[in-house]
């Protein structure tokens, strides 16, 4: 009878250890595979996409521009996040993005 209890405890311990190892493996590999799939999708979209920009509209010291993205193989919506960039960040952002030369408006 004692052998059955010991065997049962060992079996339960082995199953628990196996579940812990499997959960650690899944928590490592699932995000890695998901990121890899998203990266390959974005690379394939970027290779066939064209982006064109419209005129730069400046009024009252603020400017706005219209950009159009076209991909003949993509039939879904694009998500665009627009944000205002303070002029104090312009020097550091220039390292990452291009800074267009905006026309200077006459001061009043």
| pLDDT score at 70 | 79
| pLDDT score at 77 | 75
- Please state, in angstroms and rounded to a whole number, the distance separating the CA atoms of residues 59 and 85: 16
| pLDDT score at 98 | 47
Query: Can you give the pTM of this predicted structure?
Result: 0.42
- Please state, in angstroms and rounded to a whole number, the distance separating the CA atoms of residues 41 and 59: 39
By the 10 Å C-beta count (0-12 exposed, 13-18 middle, 19+ buried), 78 is classed as exposed
Residues of the chain with pLDDT under 50: 93-99, 102-103
33-57 pLDDT, tens digit each: 999 998 888 888 778 878 777 777 7
Q: Which of 50, 102, 99, 59 is nearest to 78 (CA)?
A: 50
| pLDDT score at 14 | 96
């Amino acid at each position: 009878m004692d052998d059955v209890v010991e065997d049962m405890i060992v079996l339960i311990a082995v199953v628990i250890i196996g579940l812990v190892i499997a959960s650690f493996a899944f928590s490592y590999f699932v995000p890695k595979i998901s990121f890899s799939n998203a990266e390959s999708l974005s690379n394939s979209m970027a290779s066939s996409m064209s982006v064109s920009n419209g005129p730069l509209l400046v009024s009252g010291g603020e400017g706005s521009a219209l950009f159009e993205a076209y991909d003949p193989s993509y039939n879904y919506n694009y998500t665009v996040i627009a944000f205002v960039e303070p002029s104090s960040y312009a020097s550091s952002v220039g390292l990452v993005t291009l800074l267009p030369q905006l026309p200077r408006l006459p001061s009043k």
